[in-house]
Amino acid sequence: MTGELYAARCGTISSTPSGDKVPSGRIEPVSTGQGQERTDLNLRLLVRLRDQALEVRRLASGLSEELLSRRPAPHQWSLKELVCHLHRVQQIFETRIEAMLAEEEPLIDPYDPEHDEEFFVLAAKPTAHALGHYLLGRERLLGRLRQLAPEQWRRSGRHPEFPHYDVQFQVEYMVYHEAHHIYQMLQRRALLESGAAEPF
Ligand code: NI
């Protein structure tokens, strides 16, 4: 899929509106119409969801349980807690996607991680538990999303904060929310490896 996706973007000379030739490899896609751009975005989101899961696995591997559980500061999540959060968010977002696919304009409840009992249950177990379930969940979600027709990506729900809320927006939101936490995982891990993070 990746090859196809990027072959469509690179290796061709595109023209600007003035007719000037521009070099190949531009990041900006050649416009092929709204529908095609949406489909291309969907493909890029799937690639990112797959790749990001591999990064989560990499950043949460090869450390002792004690280090994985160590918070860099009292109010900052440990690597283990970040994995638990990503797993819970994935579960919640998958449930929302299924609701939007099955129902007409379902009401989307905002997620409040501070009061999520299941997060605390997960965080009390070894990191491998949450990580394993997160990876299985990602495979299942990718399999599901790959099967969706373009019109299914447009199935929508009612979210109190976002007026245009559909499956595609939900997946895109998930990608960037997760990327933000992967950045935190990278920072946490670097601190642990430098020995700067003291136990709390
Ligand atoms: Ni978050």
Q: Which of the four pLDDT bands, split at 50, 70 and 90, describes residue 28?
A: low
- Do 104 and 146 belong to one domain? yes
- Do 159 and 90 belong to one domain? yes
Considering the domain boundaries, does residue 199 fall inside one?
no
- Do 42 and 19 belong to one domain? no
User: How far does the centroid of ligand 1 lie from the alpha carbon of residue 21, in Å?
Assistant: 43
- Do 127 and 52 belong to one domain? yes
User: How far does the centroid of ligand 1 lie from the alpha carbon of residue 181, in Å?
Assistant: 7
User: How far does the centroid of ligand 1 lie from the alpha carbon of residue 119, in Å?
Assistant: 12
Please give the DSSP secondary-structure letter assigned to residue 115. G
User: Is the confidence at residue 27, as pLDDT, over 60?
Assistant: no
User: How far does the centroid of ligand 1 lie from the alpha carbon of residue 156, in Å?
Assistant: 22
Look up the pTM and report it: 0.81
- Ranges assigned E (strand) in 29-68: none
pLDDT of residue 197: 56
- Do 104 and 179 belong to one domain? yes
- Do 22 and 110 belong to one domain? no
The residues with which 157 forms a beta bridge, in sequence order, are: 165
pLDDT of residue 193: 82
Identify the CATH number of the domain in which residue 174 sits.
1.20.120.450
pLDDT of residue 33: 55
Considering the domain boundaries, does residue 14 fall inside one?
yes
Q: Which of the four pLDDT bands, split at 50, 70 and 90, describes residue 111?
A: very high
Domain count, the chain: 2
Specify whether the CB–CB gap between 165 and 108 falls below 8 A: yes
CA distance 120 to 101: 29
Residue 21 or residue 40, greater confidence: 40
User: How far does the centroid of ligand 1 lie from the alpha carbon of residue 200, in Å?
Assistant: 22
The percent of residues above 90 in pLDDT, for the chain, comes to 74
- Do 109 and 130 belong to one domain? yes
Residue-range definition of the domain harbouring residue 5: 1-30
pLDDT digits 0-9 by tens, 118-177: 999 999 999 999 999 999 999 999 999 999 999 999 999 999 999 999 999 999 999 999
Residue 133 or residue 192, greater confidence: 133
CA distance 103 to 155: 9
The tokens describing 37, both together, are: 């751009």
- Do 38 and 107 belong to one domain? yes
User: Is the confidence at residue 1, as pLDDT, over 50?
Assistant: no
- Do 38 and 25 belong to one domain? no
Average pLDDT rounded to a whole number, residues 174-188: 97
Considering the domain boundaries, does residue 74 fall inside one?
yes
Considering the domain boundaries, does residue 80 fall inside one?
yes
Considering the domain boundaries, does residue 200 fall inside one?
no
Average pLDDT rounded to a whole number, residues 27-43: 69
Considering the domain boundaries, does residue 136 fall inside one?
yes
Considering the domain boundaries, does residue 143 fall inside one?
yes
Q: Which of the four pLDDT bands, split at 50, 70 and 90, describes residue 194?
A: confident
User: How far does the centroid of ligand 1 lie from the alpha carbon of residue 23, in Å?
Assistant: 39
Average pLDDT rounded to a whole number, residues 49-63: 97
User: How far does the centroid of ligand 1 lie from the alpha carbon of residue 164, in Å?
Assistant: 21
Per DSSP, the three-state class of 2 is helix
User: How far does the centroid of ligand 1 lie from the alpha carbon of residue 89, in Å?
Assistant: 8
User: How far does the centroid of ligand 1 lie from the alpha carbon of residue 128, in Å?
Assistant: 20
Residue 43 makes CB contacts below 8 A (sequence gap 6+) with: 1, 5
The percent of residues above 70 in pLDDT, for the chain, comes to 80
- Do 19 and 38 belong to one domain? no
User: How far does the centroid of ligand 1 lie from the alpha carbon of residue 113, in Å?
Assistant: 8
Considering the domain boundaries, does residue 113 fall inside one?
yes
